[in-house]
């Protein structure tokens, strides 16, 4: 009997490392099927920050695409954004490069400086603290940057690593702010009215 690696509080299951990985991959596979997120032959851009969630998503999607008996054959490309935060982004971007190299996945890198003419560090120096939070401002720029990376890579769909914790947090924030319209944007597989590429969230039923 293998030692317990992880206990799921909502189900009471105690899982070894292999079983934890297998059940997580299966949960993602079912979520993709449930919402019709990915289609055979599509080029999928995975938004990869270099953190644990996005790198896990990249590995899972790669495994599902090339795994034995897989019917979901699609091409993967990693979309990475360099926001220009001194002493912070370089290490994460290097993590993304290493994992992409090990999987044989192309990495498309875009930067705020390249797209907007300034880094996030510079933008924060200009910001009026009373008008907009740093996270809100970066979020707007980052979504635009991912859109531009998707166009550059000519992908059919963009997959982001938003998990169930992210989903619930966003739902509650919009609910408490009375922003009913934004609640409709939480569909795990949706089109953006301002951008033709479909967006999907394959980790949306997986806890962080």
pLDDT tens figures, 178-196 = 766 665 556 666 655 556 6
Q: Is the pTM of this model over 0.85?
A: no
CA-atom Rg of the chain in angstroms: 18
- Taking a C-beta distance cutoff of 8 angstroms, is the pair 148, 192 a contact? no
- Cα–Cα distance between 103 and 111 in angstroms, integer? 23
Q: Which residue has the tokens 């034995």?
A: 68
Superfamily, domain 38-200: HUPs (3.40.50.620)
Domain ranges of the chain: 38-200
For residue 159, give the 3-state DSSP assignment.
strand
> How many other CB atoms are found less than 10 A from the CB of residue 53?
18
pLDDT tens, residue by residue, 132-159: 556 666 667 888 889 999 999 999 999 9
Strand partners, 192: 195
**Residue bearing the bigger pLDDT, 9 or 27:** 27
């Amino acid at each position: 009997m293998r030692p317990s690696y992880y206990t799921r509080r909502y189900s009471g299951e105690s899982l070894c490392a292999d079983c934890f990985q297998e059940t997580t991959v299966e949960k993602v596979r079912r979520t993709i099927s449930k919402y019709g997120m990915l289609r055979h032959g599509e080029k999928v851009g995975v938004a990869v920050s270099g953190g644990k969630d996005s790198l896990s998503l990249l590995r899972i999607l790669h495994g599902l695409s090339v795994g034995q008996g897989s019917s979901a054959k699609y091409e993967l490309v990693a979309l990475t954004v360099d926001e220009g935060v001194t002493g912070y982004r370089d290490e994460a971007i290097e993590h993304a490069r290493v994992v992409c190299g090990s999987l044989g996945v192309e990495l498309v890198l875009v930067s705020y400086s390249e797209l907007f003419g300034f880094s996030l560090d510079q933008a924060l120096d200009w910001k009026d603290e009373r008008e907009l939070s740093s996270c809100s401002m970066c979020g707007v720029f980052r979504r635009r940057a991912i859109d531009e990376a998707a166009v550059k890579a000519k992908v059919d769909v963009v997959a982001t690593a938003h998990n169930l914790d992210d989903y619930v947090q966003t739902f509650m924030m919009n609910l408490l702010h009375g922003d009913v319209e934004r609640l409709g944007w939480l569909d795990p597989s949706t089109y953006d009215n301002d951008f033709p590429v479909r967006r999907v969230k394959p980790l949306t039923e997986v806890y962080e």
